[in-house]
Structure 1
Amino acid sequence: MNNDKRREIFTRWRAANPHPTTELNYRTPFELLIAVILSAQTTDKGVNKATALLFPVANTPQAILDLGLEGLKSHIRTIGLYNSKAENIIRTCRILVEQWQGEVPHERAALEALPGVGRKTANVVLNTAFGEPTIAVDTHIFRVANRTGIAPGKTPLAVETRLLKVVPAEFKRDAHHWLILHGRYTCIARIPKCGQCLIADLCDFKDKTPAAAGR
Structure 2
Amino acid sequence: MDLYLDSADEPAWAELMPTGLFRGITTNPLLAQRAGLSYPDIDWTAIAARARELGAQELHAQVYGPVESYLNWATALYESGAKAGLATVVKIPLTPEAIRAVPAIKALGGPILLTAAYHPKQVFVAKALGVDFIAPYFGRMSEAGLPALEMIEQMQTIAAGQPRVLVASLRNADQMVALADRGLDCFTLSPDIARSLLSDPLTDGAAAAFDAAAAGQRLK
Q: State the TM-score bracket (shorter-chain normalisation).
A: 0.3 to 0.5
**Greater strand share, structure number:** 2
The TM-score with structure 2 as length reference comes to 0.34
The TM-score with structure 1 as length reference comes to 0.34
Choose between structure 1 and 2 for higher RCO, CA contacts under 8 A separated by at least 6 residues.
Answer: 1
